[in-house]
Structure formats: C-alpha cells, structure tokens
C-alpha cells in the first residue's frame, strides 16, 4: 500500500544548530502514527517541513507515492496535508468563520463567509464538534480553539492530519475525546500523525510509533510490541529511574495565603479567594489545567502583581502590600514559568543574569562601583556548583544556553541565599529528562534544607512525583487537598469536576 506521506532524508539547520539530521518518516492512510520524542528532538520541525512552513536544507518528500516539492503552506494544503500546530495558527481577533475563510483562500468575502460557515457546520456535525462561530477565537477556551484548528484542516479537505502535541493543554477527559475522534477519522481513511511526548497516548492510541532523538529517527515500530520501559529508553537513551523521596522533617508554616483575590492584566478575575498554607520542609504541589489562575498566583506571590484582596503572610510577616524586594529579604526564591519574562534577560551575560540577584546585598559592590571581578568569580563558582553546561565564558549571552542550563542558572541565582520559600512554576517545562531530574533534585535539596516549596505545574505526573501534599486548583481556588501518596484518579476527578 502506498504511503500517504513520506519524508526522506530530511535535514534542517538553524543558525548552525542541526535540528534535523537525515530524518525519515512515513505514515500510511488509515493509521494513527505517533511521532514520539522529547522537547527539542525535532518532531515539530520535521512536521513543519511537511506542512510547508520550513523548507528543508536537504531531503525529499513524497505524497501518495508521488515526489513533491512543498514550497509553502499553500502547496501543502493543496496536497491534502493539514497541520494543527502546538501554538495555534489562529488570528485571535477573528472569529472561527473568518479564520477558516482566511485559510481557505476564497475569492469573495461575502459568499466565502456563507460557504465556509456551511462547510464548518457540516464538518462539525460529522466529527461531533460544536464551536461558537461568532466570538473572536481569542476569547474561546484552548479546547475550543483547538477544535477550530482541526475544523480548519478538515474543511480544507486534508487527508493527512498532523497534530502537534494536541493534548498538552487539555484535561484528561478532553484529550481522550480528541484521540477517539482522531481514531474515527483514521478509520475513514485519513492518515493521522500524532506528535507527542506522552508514552501513555502512544500506547493507548497509536497504530505505529516513530521515535526521534536529537534530530534523528531512532526507531519505528508497533507500540504494542514495546514496553513502556523500552519506549522510554528509545526516547531518552539510557537513564536511571527516579524514586519518589518524601519529606524528611516538616516544620511550621512559612507561607500562608488567606482568601487571595487577583485578576489578569485585562481585568478578568482569575483568583477567587485562594487559601493555603505551606510548611517548611515540604513540597506543596498545585495541580490543575493551565489558565485557572496559576500565572496570577505566581506573579502575586513574587510581588510583581498586586492582590485585590486577601493576605499573604511570609515567614511570619504580612507582605501583602509589599513589592518583591522585602519578600526576597524574607527568603523568597522564585523560578517563574516564563524564563524570558521574570527570570532571565537573554541579551545580558551569564554574569549579569547571575548578579541581578545579589545586587542589593552589596556583595557585588556599592552604588558607586559595581565589582565586576566579584561577579565573575561568583558566577564561575555557580556555573561549576550547578553544573551549567555550554558556558564558555561568564560574558556569554544567556540566550545561548539551552533551556535546562538556563533554568540551572536561574536556580543558582535564586538559591544563593538559602531560601525559606521556593516558588517553582512549571520548573521543568520544556526540559529534557536529565535536566528535569537535576531541577527536581535541587528542589528536594532546598526542601530538605528546611525551605517550603510551592510547586505549580500543569504536568500532573510531575506534581504527583514531587509533592508531599497536593492542592488541586480550579477557577482560582484550591478545590481539594490530597496527602501523598494520592490517588491519581481522585485528583483528576477534582480537576475535571470543577473545570
């Protein structure tokens, strides 16, 4: 049987970094084909080549056995290739119909709108999707936006569907429903490529799996023929499994939040009377689907966003009305989710990024003169102590570090003064297995040294693995607390029922 899509010997480099090295990939009609690998393995890059967004430096593409030259998204679409990107390619100010009309490239606006709307309704019924067609897609939930994306691809008549990490932003239940829909589409003859880093999805839903590592294809197999351990080894290479390590000694409260109320910049209230207490020596994990107030909670805790109501007591002092400086003086360390926002400046050197932390302490000189030698020495020591790789010099720009090493630099700075409270928001997002293990080890060390750790993560597995206590966050409050070891099903149910 002819393959629906074949990518042969595809190579692609970005600014000297080899993202793809002679990668081969093939999917046939009627199958759900998982493309598995870690972040940065090249999965998305490879699929972007198929979708016409990236042009390969080398390699060939065949669609239904015919050699093609995909020079852009239009060619890809006309060949029946449709991709649902991880970051949705939607114009947020447009509604669903306008977005799909845009992608369809109709000749006339007025008649086009009507045609597209009819097509959306027909396709929506066929796959069981209901989408609000009138509201700007930016105001829809992520799950709805994803449905718009999928409908866009289906309305275009794609027979080859590529979904890039489609379940990353969905609840377990939404994810399951989506994958069942994809299975149904495959049964009708579509070729489905499921780009993912989740082993469970591969084992439950894929007919075939291709594994990528470091821009190369390392295997292509029937997932039923492989155990989870074997798949893991293929994905990350040889690793040592990690064991859960519970708290050693739990002390008194270091942070107590009482009835915290907060809003996003656009005024939408996302924290609704959140109350929780974190004790020294424990990791308190907050589980929940993204967008339920986690970002605002982290920003309010850091002191860069004001709470509208409620109290924050840090190490015995009410810091509700203060900015970051007094909080840091009381032992707050923060690892924010968006490294490029509050954690690092890519254009500054490693030394400068390290020194912003200790500037107020005076150890890097006074107001009249910054002691560059002291900064350099301390940064070099931190690079060695925290095993930051890829740092040729302390004057090198921070943007040149890989995600894991950048995160280690943040931790080195934040942990320089033995924190009493560590705020870690998705600290391992986008990191490979080794870096994740390193970051987790640092968090546990801080806990065992007596700090309270607040771990906010959308990755339930991470929360389950790391936490001593778990709070489920939904719509801006803690809707359930669990002592570990906790029941994954019960936590999942708490997340869904309040969503």
Look at residues 202, 189, 214, 237 and name the one whose alpha carbon lies nearest to residue 46.
Answer: 214
Sign of CA dihedral 434, 439, 443, 448: positive
Question: Which range binds other proteins by CB under 8 A, 119-127, 244-252, 349-357, 471-479?
Answer: 349-357
**Shortest distance in whole angstroms from residue 482 CB to other proteins:** 30
270-309 per-residue burial string, b: 16 or more CB within 10 A, e: under 16: bbeebebebbbbbbbbbbbbbebbbbbbbbbbbbebebee
Tokens of 271: 């924290």
* Token pair belonging to 236: 């990350």
Q: Which stretch binds other proteins (CB under 8 A): 189-197, 272-280, 341-349, 481-489?
A: 341-349
Does position 53 interact with other proteins (CB under 8 A)? The reply is yes
Of 249-268, binders to other proteins (CB under 8 A) are 266
For residues 65 and 189, which CB has a smaller minimum distance to other proteins in the complex?
65
Q: How far is the CB of 353 from other proteins (least distance, A)?
A: 8
User: Any contact of residue 134 with other proteins (CB under 8 A)?
Assistant: no
Q: Does 143 bind other proteins (CB under 8 A)?
A: no
Check binding of 377 to other proteins (CB under 8 A).
no
Alpha helices (H) along 51-193 = 73-78, 96-104, 109-127, 142-155, 172-187
Tell me which residue of 483, 428, 431 sits closest to 458, measured CA to CA: 428
Give me the least distance between CB of 325 and other proteins, in Å please: 3
326 forms part of the interface with other proteins (CB under 8 A): yes
- Cα separation of 469 and 359, whole Å? 34
Minimum distance of other proteins from residue 90's CB (angstroms): 5
Pairing of the two strands 253-263 and 309-314 = antiparallel
- Check residue 37 for interaction with other proteins (CB under 8 A): no
Q: Is 168 in the site for other proteins (CB under 8 A)?
A: no
Residue 327 found at the interface with other proteins (CB under 8 A): yes
- Give, rounded to a whole angstrom, the gap between the first and last alpha carbons of the chain: 44
135 binds other proteins (CB under 8 A): no
Q: Is 236 in the site for other proteins (CB under 8 A)?
A: no
Query: CA–CA separation, 316 vs 416, rounded Å?
Result: 22
Q: Between residues 164 and 468, which has the closer beta carbon with respect to other proteins?
A: 164
Among 1, 110, 238, 489, binds other proteins (CB under 8 A): 110
Interface region with other proteins, contact rule CB under 8 A, candidates 103-111, 125-133, 448-456, 477-485: 103-111
Question: Is residue 166 part of the contact set for other proteins (CB under 8 A)?
Answer: no
Q: Which stretch binds other proteins (CB under 8 A): 13-21, 182-190, 269-277, 308-316?
A: 13-21
Q: How far apart are CA 2 and CA 7, in angstroms?
A: 13
Residue 143 burial (CB count, 10 A): 16
CA distance 443 to 422: 8
CA dihedral sign, ordered 410, 412, 415, 416: negative
Residue 344 C-beta: closest distance to other proteins, Å: 6
Among 10, 161, 199, 257, binds other proteins (CB under 8 A): 10
Task: Determine if 108 is a binding residue for other proteins (CB under 8 A).
Answer: yes
Q: Does position 59 bind other proteins by CB under 8 A?
A: yes
Total residues in contact with other proteins, by rule CB under 8 A: 100
Nearest CA to 251 out of 287, 226, 279 is that of 279
429 binds other proteins (CB under 8 A): no
Closest distance to other proteins from the beta carbon of 419 (Å): 13
Stretch near other proteins under the rule CB under 8 A, chosen from 29-37, 70-78, 163-171, 455-463 = 70-78
Specify the stretch interacting with other proteins by CB under 8 A; choose among 247-255, 362-370, 457-465, 470-478: 362-370
Nearer of residues 328 and 378 to other proteins, judged by Cβ: 328
Angstrom distance (rounded) from CA 358 to CA 58: 48
Question: Residues 400, 404, 407, 409: is their CA dihedral positive or negative?
Answer: negative
């Amino acid at each position: 049987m002819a393959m629906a899509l074949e990518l042969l010997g595809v190579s692609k480099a970005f600014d000297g970094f080899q993202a793809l090295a002679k990668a081969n990939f093939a999917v046939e009609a009627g199958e759900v084909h998982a493309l598995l690998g870690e972040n940065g393995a090249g999965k998305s890059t490879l699929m972007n080549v198929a979708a016409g967004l990236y042009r390969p430096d080398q390699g060939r593409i065949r669609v239904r056995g015919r050699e093609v030259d995909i020079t852009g998204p239009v060619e890809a679409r006309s060949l029946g290739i449709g991709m649902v990107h991880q970051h949705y390619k939607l114009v947020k100010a447009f509604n669903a119909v306008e977005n799909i009309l845009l992608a369809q490239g109709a000749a006339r606006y007025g008649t086009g709108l009507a045609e597209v709307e009819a097509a959306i309704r027909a396709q929506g019924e066929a796959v069981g999707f209901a989408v609000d067609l009138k509201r700007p897609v930016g105001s829809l939930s992520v799950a709805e936006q994803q449905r718009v994306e999928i409908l866009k691809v289906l309305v275009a008549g794609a027979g080859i569907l590529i979904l890039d990490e489609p379940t990353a932003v969905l609840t377990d239940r939404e994810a399951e429903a989506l994958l069942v829909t994809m299975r149904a589409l495959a049964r009708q003859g579509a070729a489905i490529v499921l780009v993912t880093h989740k082993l469970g999805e591969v084992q439950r839903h894929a007919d075939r799996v291709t594994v990528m590592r470091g821009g190369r294809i390392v295997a292509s197999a029937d997932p039923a023929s492989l155990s989870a351990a074997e798949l893991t080894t293929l994905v990350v290479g040889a690793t040592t499994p990690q064991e859960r390590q519970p708290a050693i000694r739990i002390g008194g409260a270091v942070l107590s939040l009482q009835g915290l109320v907060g809003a996003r910049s656009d005024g939408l209230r996302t924290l609704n009377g959140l109350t929780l207490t974190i004790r020294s020596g424990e990791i308190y994990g907050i589980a929940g689907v993204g967008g339920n107030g986690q970002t605002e909670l982290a920003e309010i805790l850091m002191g860069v966003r004001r709470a509208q109501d409620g109290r924050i007591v840090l190490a015995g002092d009410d810091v509700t009305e203060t900015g970051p400086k007094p909080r840091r003086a009381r032992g707050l360390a923060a690892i924010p989710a968006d490294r490029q926002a509050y954690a690092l400046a890519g254009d500054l050197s490693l030394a400068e990024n390290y020194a912003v932390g200790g500037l107020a302490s005076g150890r890097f000189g006074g107001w009249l003169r910054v002691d560059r030698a002291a900064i350099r020495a301390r940064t070099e020591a931190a690079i060695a102590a925290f095993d930051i790789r890829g740092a040729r010099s302390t004057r090198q720009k921070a943007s040149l570090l890989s995600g894991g090493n950048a995160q280690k630099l943040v931790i080195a700075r934040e942990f320089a003064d033995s924190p009493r409270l560590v705020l870690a928001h998705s600290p391992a997002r986008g990191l490979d297995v080794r870096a994740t293990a390193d970051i987790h080890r640092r968090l546990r060390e801080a806990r065992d040294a007596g700090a309270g750790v607040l771990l906010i993560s959308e990755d339930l597995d991470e929360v389950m693995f790391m936490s001593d206590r778990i709070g489920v966050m939904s719509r801006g409050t803690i809707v359930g607390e669990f002592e570990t070891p906790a029941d994954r099903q019960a936590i999942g149910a708490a997340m869904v029922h309040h969503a």
